[in-house]
Amino acid sequence: MDHESRLFGLPEESFVFTVPRKGLITKTETRVISLMKLDLRPGQVLWDIGAGSGSVGIEAARLVHDLKVIAVEKDAADFECLQKNIDAFGLSGRIEAIFGKAPEALSQAPSPDRVFIGGSGGRMSDLLDFCLEKGKSLGIVANFATIENLAEALDWAKKKKFSHDIVHLQVGRGVPIVGLTRIEAQNPVTILSLFPDGVTP
């Protein structure tokens, strides 16, 4: 099955990404749940911060009619992959790629309805403050590989009176071994959804 014929949950192989750091691409299972938590609607603006290969923004744009995606990436090699993937999926009119560091690179971007944070560059609180300042009826979904960054985001949510929802995802995939199959564990990821109090994530 080629990537164009699959509606949702594209495999990692559908995207161009930097091979030496391929563990950093948002895995298919994590991407599917993250997009579900974003609860996107037509006509909204999604900021994809730390976009990497662009897999989350690309899946979002393919799924939701008239969604505008602003994808920000600070690594030059990853940004090149991001641009190639946007072109390959024919989404250059729907996804705007910005090379630079967030939040500064987003100073002129349209206000977001939803924000996905795949990488914070060690500036989680700064990013969240900026998103809250610029956003409207804002919903934020962030993926975490470390407890420290998750704790910082939860502390921010408490101070700003944002409700939260946590999914801790540990995926194992079947791989062949001497004519048999074993389960190979993927790196665990914590998916944090943040919404203003009174809004159900």
Inside any domain, residue 135: yes
Local confidence band at 190 (pLDDT 50, 70, 90 cut-offs): very high
pLDDT at 76: 93
Q: What percent of the chain has pLDDT over 90?
A: 78
pLDDT digits (tens, 9 = 90+) for 129-187: 999 999 877 899 999 999 999 999 999 999 999 999 999 999 999 999 999 999 999 89
With respect to residue 19, please indicate whether it lies within any of the assigned structural domains.
Answer: no
Note whether 172 and 120 are within 8 A (CB).
no
Per the CB < 8 A criterion, the answer to whether 168 and 29 are in contact is: no
How many domains are there within the chain? Answer: 1
Residues 6+ apart with CB under 8 A from 35: 56, 59, 60, 63
C-alpha 149/C-alpha 126 separation (Å) is 12
- Kindly report, residue by residue over 74-106, the tens digit of the pLDDT: 999 999 999 999 999 999 999 999 999 999 999
Residue 80 lies in a domain: yes
pLDDT at 1: 42
In a domain, residue 18? The reply is no
Domain that holds residue 164: 3-10+24-196
pTM as predicted: 0.91
| Residue count (the chain) | 201
- Residue 126, in any domain of the structure: yes
Within-domain flag for 144: yes
Instruction: Please tell me the predicted confidence (pLDDT) of residue 114.
Output: 96
Query: Is a pLDDT exceeding 80 seen at residue 27?
Result: yes
> If you average pLDDT over every residue of the chain, what do you get?
90
201 in any annotated domain: no
15 belongs to a structural domain: no
Residue 113: CATH number of its domain: 3.40.50.150
State residue 12's pLDDT score.
Answer: 87
d(CA 113, CA 123): 21
What is the pLDDT at residue 200?
A: 55
pLDDT recorded at residue 25:
80
